[in-house]
Amino acid sequence: MPSINEIQLIKRGGNQAIEINPPTGVDFHLTSSGSDWLWAAFCVFILYSLIMHVLMFRKPVKERIFYYTSVVPAWIMAIGYFTWASNLGWTPIQAEFNHVTVDDQETHPGYRQIFYAKFIAWFLAFPFHTIALGLLSNTPGVQTAYNIFFTDISILGYLFGSLVKSTYKWGYFTFAVASTFATAINLFTTSRRSALEVGKDCHFYFTLYASGFVFIWLVYPIAWALADGGNVIQPDSDAVFYGVLDVITFVFIPAVFFFFIYDFNLERIGLNKPEFQFVANKEISTVSGRTSGETVQHSASTTPAPAPAASP
């Protein structure tokens, strides 16, 4: 059996995030149990990012675009979860409702720990799904930018609403949900029709990806209403709720997507091409010659000037 000193050493070597970064000034806060779960989710994001990063090198550079749209958001979420699990990146906000209570709270409703770090991670990571769907369906860039705008507006709505203690937070919640539906409508109309023009297989892949992503995305408002908005569940419970959604959104769905499109020909959607193409080398040399002050010689195909007439 381990000695008392060994047991104490094991305890000291465990998760000490709550002790090192205590949740001072809040009534409803993250505990060691919630932090343990967040560290587990953090490991999932890191492992997925590393695996996809290694697999990426099995593809030519021109065929890695969907690896980029998968690895980058997972890496962003890993940083966000590192911050969240460390009990950092939060601020105390008085709850609107007194659904959750503790014995030693001094105010009613009490103060809840709001982790703004997770909203920042979502703001940076969620648009990559919109970008991937836009690329897959060969959606025009302007339309994709429009979808990205509404995607980020939805995240800002949840962030601003979380930082408001009054009932006005539900106004921001409404903006967030409306932006989510706006993005979903754009994806299932314009982008889906564009995917069908590429081919039936592309249309199937797009529908599968978009359906899974939008379905899970529509669960986030429920989690927010129960956690940051309505103060119905404790921060540990909302960590589990959000954590499951995030792992599905940024690990499971992209992994399934890759299973289907691994051998998809990117030339069909115009992605297997050089990023920049010049019109003609002659024009480039002409411009550089003028810049350096050199005399530009006309090409041999230029019509020569007529010869002077012979004198009688």
Q: Mind listing the pLDDT tens digit for each residue in 99-158? A: 777 766 677 788 999 999 999 999 999 999 999 999 999 999 999 999 999 999 999 999
Residue 204 has pLDDT above 60, yes or no: yes
Amino acid at 80: G
| pLDDT greater at residue 123 or residue 201 | 123
More confident residue, 307 or 166: 166
Residues 157-176 have a mean pLDDT of: 96
What would the mean pLDDT of 17-25 be, rounded to a whole number? 90
pLDDT on residue 278: 38
Which pair of tokens denotes residue 289? 């010659």
Q: How far, in whole angstroms, is CA 182 from its chain's centroid? A: 18
**pLDDT given for residue 266 in this prediction:** 75
Tokens of 153: 């507006």
Give strand pairing partners of 28. 112
Indicate if the pLDDT at residue 299 is higher than 50. Answer: no
User: What does 114-153 look like in DSSP terms, one character per residue?
Assistant: E-HHHHHHHHHHTHHHHHHHHHHTT--HHHHHHHHHHHHH
Q: Which residues are 93's β-sheet partners?
A: 112
What is the greatest pairwise CA distance in the chain? 123
Banded pLDDT at 287 (limits 50, 70, 90): very low
pLDDT at site 280: 38
Higher pLDDT, 15 or 38: 38
Query: In the chain, what percentage of residues exceed pLDDT 90?
Result: 62
User: Which domains, and CATH codes, for the chain?
Assistant: 26-269 (1.20.1070.10)
What pLDDT was estimated at residue 276?
A: 37
Q: How confident is the model at residue 169 (pLDDT cuts 50, 70, 90)?
A: very high
The pLDDT of residue 288 is 46
Min mean pLDDT across 30-39, 73-82, 217-226, 294-303 is at 294-303
Provide the pLDDT for residue 268. Answer: 77
Task: Identify the CA nearest to 221 among candidates 176, 260, 179, 264.
Answer: 176
Non-local CB neighbours of 273 within 8 Å, separated by 6+ positions:
62, 267
Give the whole-angstrom CA distance, residue 20 versus residue 135.
44
**Cα separations in angstroms, 54 against 71, 241, 276, 311:** 10, 30, 27, 79
pLDDT over 70 percentage in the chain: 81
Asked if the model's pLDDT at residue 175 lies above 80, the reply is: yes
Beta bridge partners of 113: 92
Angle at 68 between CA 63 and CA 71, to 5 degrees: 135
Residue partners of 292: CB distance under 8 A and separation at least 6: none
CB 84 within 8 A of CB 76: no
| Predicted TM-score of the model (pTM) | 0.81
**Angle of CA points 241, 210, 198, to nearest 5°:** 165
